[in-house]
Amino acid sequence: MQYSRSTLIAGTLAVLACSSPGWAQVAPPHTPMTLASTRITTKDVLGLGAFYQKVTGIAPVGDKSYVEIRTPGSVLAIGDEESVKKTNAGAAVAAQNHTMILEFEVSDVDAERARLAPLVSHWVLEPTNQPWGNRSMLFRDPDGNLINVYTKLPQAK
């Protein structure tokens, strides 16, 4: 089989382009990222910190502009809106979240419902068995952030 000069030149250019640095190369291996925390922006760090202390049983660590609730599985950070304006280009606005759900796993969601009854003013979903095998309830914190508290149901045999 014979190829025209233009076909050979085009093929050679394609091979050279594909072997050039940055072209269709596999990314070098890297260290995976670690999720350090989830941060809520609020106008009342101490108030929201106290709310989450009552929910989790874990005392917040920090000051009036930033606290952390250090749970065994993750860190819930709570920062003030003024700090975000100064250091994070105002990228987060307090009490405006309608997309994130904070999730806490517990041993007995029904017992937690009873315990949290005096604290929570906005219940979204009473304890309900979900088709994926959790029993969960939903409520909102004082800033309107959605919280899911759930228990894994025993596996059916």
Each residue's pLDDT tens digit, 92-132? 889 988 889 999 999 999 999 999 999 999 999 999 999 99
Percent of the chain that is helix, strand, coil (3-state, to 5): 25, 30, 45
Q: Which among 100, 99, 102, 110 is positioned nearest to 136, based on CA atoms?
A: 110
The verdict on 123 and 156 lying in the same domain is: yes
- Domain carrying residue 63: 33-96
Mean pLDDT of the chain: 87
Could you tell me the strand order of the sheet in which 75-80 lies?
38-42, 75-80, 66-70, 61-63
Rounded to whole angstroms, how far apart are CA atoms 24 and 134? 43
Predicted model pTM? 0.77
C-alpha 63 chain-centroid distance: 22
The verdict on 37 and 81 lying in the same domain is: yes
53 within domain boundaries: yes
The residue from 70, 96, 122 where one domain ends is 96
Q: Which residue shows structure tokens 């952390």? A: 68
14 within domain boundaries: no
Number of domains in the chain: 2
